[in-house]
Chain A
């Protein structure tokens, strides 16, 4: 017997409130939990959710969509139709949880002030590979897989990406990145709005989140999108019951669930809906039940072996694309948490190692499957950390951070510049942004997804584009 899975995080886990509120997202008409009145409403609030099993792929899906009857059979047809249509570009969004320390991913060994800001955490010049586009910067040793892809011309680097008037709350800043605007009141994600304009009403796989529930960047207003839960054994056991009384017992789940679902009371409804959903899932998963005690499927070569789901989830993305399923926007987040207020050297290295190895393995996987020219991967985090390290062997919340666009079609050239520690800090001692994440989204929409950014990103007209796609 073991304890809960260890988190590699410091106690500041408020980034997780996004998580927390996100779970509320699928319930129609519900407000925020009352604890944080100043927080933005998470994108996706108000969507209705239905779970079903995509039999053709053996996957349990949670489908999110507003205002329409969600019939699994319709989706099976819609997915088949979309899969038969000409292949479309795919955008995979990878979220590095907790605000990664950009100044360690690409560390400015060549900046004369670096040693002063990072007396304990600083790395020597020769520790990691040089960054060819700026002699001041070096890749962290654990970022070597990214350096390798960059050397192949497959990584566009944004060394200081962010926005004006940076917010240092995990929740608020992540919300901005998810909705594609520095507005607290937007309810749909930036990729969700793209799918609302271009998606199909019967293909939930067009916006797919590999997680227990939907990530806000994919929240739509109209079109269905989906989250895949890890399919696992799902069975009910009641003591002293077998035979027909047991079989009939499951029907009573629906009867009791119906009592709750029809109730005027929200808590009764939550319970009733959980009962109905659980029984539907039980029925759907019955033919797919793994052997009792069976082990998880092996990861393809190259993905790091890890307790965390991130490598498995990225491998699943490649697998789903390889199976011809009509994915268009995908979101995944690391399980490693980069909110390194303390003990950064150890936690950061471990997390970055797993993330970078997985990203390289994913790229190689796509290349081996002949899919590489159809997929771009955007890697982002809600903010960077403060240049001045703290006394706990860690770093506090900062402003500008790093982002990467990875793929054979990525332009492979730096966007913005690293501003330097002498002139590049704001009056709170945080790094100034030299590129704007909303401009990054505009560029991806226009150059990769082939859609005008104006109806998707607020204020798109005034945002600078960069060449991101070759």
Chain B
């Protein structure tokens, strides 16, 4: 499969500069100038979305790189298409109330949205501002935070940071609510700098943490006996410390808006923003030169997210650089898209959890550990969830092989790939699949009933083996 070159294996990358690199409208970041094949479009859809639906990669590749990227970053259609999600009993889901159905609610959007980058950016912001319902203990507040992240997903980062700073789930998670003048809580002040805007030890002091904490005081909520939840999150000037603070050498009677502004104006912020955002799209860091260009682009576009994402998604490293392991929830959504299945069971919540990623429950405030998704436990889970993907309607009928007809191992492997929407795989992986098909469907079968049954059994195994392949688990 020649067209997979440049996508599989960084060392084998063949750059085909048939066209001169297109000039970038954005801040002089280089633009990928090689062929934009269906395999490249497939990778782009996995990195900036949840993989292609059937035929989508070929369709996207025909647009060319620039139009393909813009179709993702400037979607015309944000509505959902296809049947509404249900549980396995056919009941509508209850995202606010039932365990795991918050995950189904979001997974459904990942599967049905025609604006996949918006959902993917929402997942990025969920990781960036990682908040866990473990502590928030309200699926409603978590979903409201998620809606905010979606609404602002490609907008202004300052708006997003301001919204997160006063978001009720975040106010619970990082102790912002009930942090008062008398006793400011440093939790949010520390993480806002360390994780959200500047990076650990990047030009701020313990004193700055404390002063930010003072500036951020005043947010509170009301405990509702009726619902047993915190409600009515609001700013109460009586709880706010309106004294003079000194943050990064600036003096003033700072409040929470100043706190957010000062962190965003800190010289270390653009570098942190670009470095962290890029890491979601590509495992190889930008060169210092390209990073500087991205930082300038970010600052000159008033810290808006969309221009930076557009430039990043056109960067050569995204298209011909190293591969990335698909996050578990991304792979699950993509498998469903590949087979054309919608949300009709709550299994995906626990399957995703076993595979190492339970949306709305990141392991800690730093989010998921994106370069360590795979180990013996999560690999097992990714394999076993294939069985769940194959519902009764998609199960194989045993003994379907016509007596006496020759078995073609290549055809069996192709059928298994076809089942998942024909993902691109390397020649070596295809070879391993074909070799398995031959040994299981041909060599192992001697009795006539075996020759009849084994091709279907082998095809069943091949479906799972495609998903077990390093090609499928990465993009």
A126: min CB distance to chain B, Å: 27
B398 touches A240 (CB 8 A): yes
Question: Closest 3 interchain pairs by CB?
Answer: A260-B470, A38-B201, A13-B364
Contacts A16-B364, A243-B457; A264 near B12 (Cβ below 8 A): yes
A242-270: CB near B (< 8 Å → 1, else 0) gives 11111011011101111110011111111
A169 touches B194 (CB 8 A): yes
Task: Tell yes or no: A413 within 8 A of B by CB.
Answer: no
B9 touches A249 (CB 8 A): no
Contacts A4-B353, A236-B383; A37 near B279 (Cβ below 8 A): no
Task: Tell yes or no: B117 within 8 A of A by CB.
Answer: no
Among B183, B460, B473, the residue within 8 A (CB) of A239 is B460
B366 touches A16 (CB 8 A): yes
A249 touches B440 (CB 8 A): yes
* Known A11-B365, A252-B433; 7 more pairs at CB < 8 Å: A10-B135, A36-B366, A168-B206, A256-B468, A271-B325, A392-B175, A392-B185
Task: Tell yes or no: A87 within 8 A of B by CB.
Answer: no
- Which residues in B have some Cβ–Cβ distance to A below 8 Å? 8-12, 99-100, 131-132, 134-135, 172-175, 178-180, 182-187, 190-191, 194-195, 199-202, 206, 209-210, 272, 275-276, 279, 283, 285, 322-325, 350, 353, 358, 361, 363-367, 369-376, 378-380, 383-384, 386-387, 390, 395-396, 398, 426, 428-429, 432-433, 435-436, 439-441, 444, 450, 454, 456-461, 463-465, 468-471, 473-474
Task: Tell yes or no: A85 within 8 A of B by CB.
Answer: no
Among B363, B440, B459, the residue within 8 A (CB) of A13 is B363
Point out which of B99, B179, B470 has the most chain A C-beta atoms below 10 A from its C-beta: B470
A200-233 residues at the B interface, CB under 8 angstroms: none
Contacts A240-B390, A342-B175, A428-B206; A391 near B185 (Cβ below 8 A): yes
Contacts A245-B457, A245-B461; A278 near B11 (Cβ below 8 A): no
B386 touches A51 (CB 8 A): no
Q: List the B side residues contacting A168 at CB < 8 Å.
A: 206, 209
Among A35, A258, A264, the residue within 8 A (CB) of B11 is A264
A356: min CB distance to chain B, Å: 25
A60: min CB distance to chain B, Å: 9
Chain A's closest residue to B285 (CB) is A34
Q: List the A side residues contacting B172 at CB < 8 Å.
A: 11
Contacts A11-B132, A255-B435, A268-B470; A24 near B202 (Cβ below 8 A): no
Q: List the A side residues contacting B433 at CB < 8 Å.
A: 252
B435 touches A11 (CB 8 A): no
Contacts A236-B383, A397-B186; A341 near B458 (Cβ below 8 A): no
Contacts A256-B468, A259-B469, A392-B175; A265 near B323 (Cβ below 8 A): yes
Q: List 9 A-B contacts (CB under 8 A).
A: A14-B365, A16-B363, A24-B372, A37-B202, A237-B387, A241-B457, A249-B436, A249-B461, A259-B470
Task: Tell yes or no: A389 within 8 A of B by CB.
Answer: yes
A35 touches B366 (CB 8 A): yes
Task: Tell yes or no: A39 within 8 A of B by CB.
Answer: yes
B461 touches A341 (CB 8 A): no
B383: min CB distance to chain A, Å: 6
B473 touches A396 (CB 8 A): no
Q: List the A side residues contacting B285 at CB < 8 Å.
A: 34
Q: How far is the CA of A104 from the CA of B4 in the complex (A)?
A: 61
A38 touches B464 (CB 8 A): no
Q: List the A side residues contacting B353 at CB < 8 Å.
A: 4
Q: How far is the CA of A428 from the CA of B211 in the complex (A)?
A: 12
Task: Tell yes or no: A388 within 8 A of B by CB.
Answer: yes
Among B187, B200, B470, the residue within 8 A (CB) of A12 is B187
Q: How far is the CA of A467 from the CA of B373 in the complex (A)?
A: 46
Contacts A9-B135, A265-B322; A246 near B470 (Cβ below 8 A): no
A268-283: CB near B (< 8 Å → 1, else 0) gives 1111111101100100
Contacts A37-B200, A264-B10; A12 near B370 (Cβ below 8 A): no
Point out which of B184, B209, B474 has the most chain A C-beta atoms below 10 A from its C-beta: B474
Interface residue total, chain A, C-beta cutoff 8 A: 82
Q: How far is the CA of A249 from the CA of B384 in the complex (A)?
A: 13
Q: List the B side residues contacting A36 at CB < 8 Å.
A: 194-195, 199-200, 366
Q: How far is the CA of A244 from the CA of B449 in the complex (A)?
A: 13
Among A244, A253, A267, the residue within 8 A (CB) of B444 is A244
B308: min CB distance to chain A, Å: 16
Chain B's closest residue to A255 (CB) is B432
A5-48 residues at the B interface, CB under 8 angstroms: 6-7, 9-17, 19-20, 23-24, 30, 33-39
Q: List the B side residues contacting A244 at CB < 8 Å.
A: 440, 444, 450, 454
Q: List the A side residues contacting B276 at CB < 8 Å.
A: 34-35
B323 touches A268 (CB 8 A): yes
Point out which of A11, A13, A341, A394 has the most chain B C-beta atoms below 10 A from its C-beta: A11
A274 touches B376 (CB 8 A): yes
Q: How far is the CA of A131 from the CA of B191 in the complex (A)?
A: 37
Among A23, A240, A264, A277, the residue within 8 A (CB) of B9 is A264
A328: min CB distance to chain B, Å: 26
Among A35, A169, A255, A342, the residue within 8 A (CB) of B436 is A255
The A/B interface has a contact count, at CB < 8 Å, of: 286
Chain A's closest residue to B428 (CB) is A259
A378: min CB distance to chain B, Å: 25
Q: How far is the CA of A244 from the CA of B426 in the complex (A)?
A: 26
- Which residues in A have some Cβ–Cβ distance to B below 8 Å? 1-4, 6-7, 9-17, 19-20, 23-24, 30, 33-39, 51, 168-169, 171-172, 234, 236-246, 248-249, 251-253, 255-260, 263-275, 277-278, 281, 341-342, 388-392, 394, 396-397, 428
A253: min CB distance to chain B, Å: 6
Q: List the A side residues contacting B363 at CB < 8 Å.
A: 13, 16, 19-20
Q: List the A side residues contacting B99 at CB < 8 Å.
A: 1-3
Q: List the B side residues contacting A30 at CB < 8 Å.
A: 371
Q: How far is the CA of A396 from the CA of B471 in the complex (A)?
A: 46
B283 touches A266 (CB 8 A): yes
Q: List the B side residues contacting A272 at CB < 8 Å.
A: 470
Q: List the B side residues contacting A172 at CB < 8 Å.
A: 200-201
A236 touches B190 (CB 8 A): no
B9 touches A268 (CB 8 A): yes
A39 touches B384 (CB 8 A): no
Q: List the A side residues contacting B470 at CB < 8 Å.
A: 256-257, 259-260, 263, 267-269, 271-272, 275
Q: List the B side residues contacting A37 at CB < 8 Å.
A: 199-200, 202, 272, 275
A123: min CB distance to chain B, Å: 19
Q: List the B side residues contacting A239 at CB < 8 Å.
A: 386-387, 390, 395, 460, 464
Chain A's closest residue to B186 (CB) is A396
A253 touches B468 (CB 8 A): yes
A327: min CB distance to chain B, Å: 23
B369 touches A267 (CB 8 A): no
Contacts A39-B200, A249-B440, A271-B325; A11 near B454 (Cβ below 8 A): no
Q: How far is the CA of A269 from the CA of B187 in the complex (A)?
A: 38
A240 touches B395 (CB 8 A): yes
A23: min CB distance to chain B, Å: 5
Q: How far is the CA of A430 from the CA of B131 in the complex (A)?
A: 28
A270 touches B374 (CB 8 A): yes
Q: List the B side residues contacting A256 at CB < 8 Å.
A: 429, 432, 465, 468-470
Among A12, A39, A236, the residue within 8 A (CB) of B365 is A12
Q: How far is the CA of A246 from the CA of B444 in the complex (A)?
A: 11
Q: List the B side residues contacting A13 at CB < 8 Å.
A: 132, 363-366
Q: List the A side residues contacting B395 at CB < 8 Å.
A: 239-240
A4 touches B474 (CB 8 A): no
Q: List the A side residues contacting B174 at CB < 8 Å.
A: 11-12
Q: List the B side residues contacting A2 at CB < 8 Å.
A: 99
Chain A's closest residue to B324 (CB) is A267
B325 touches A267 (CB 8 A): yes
A246 touches B379 (CB 8 A): no
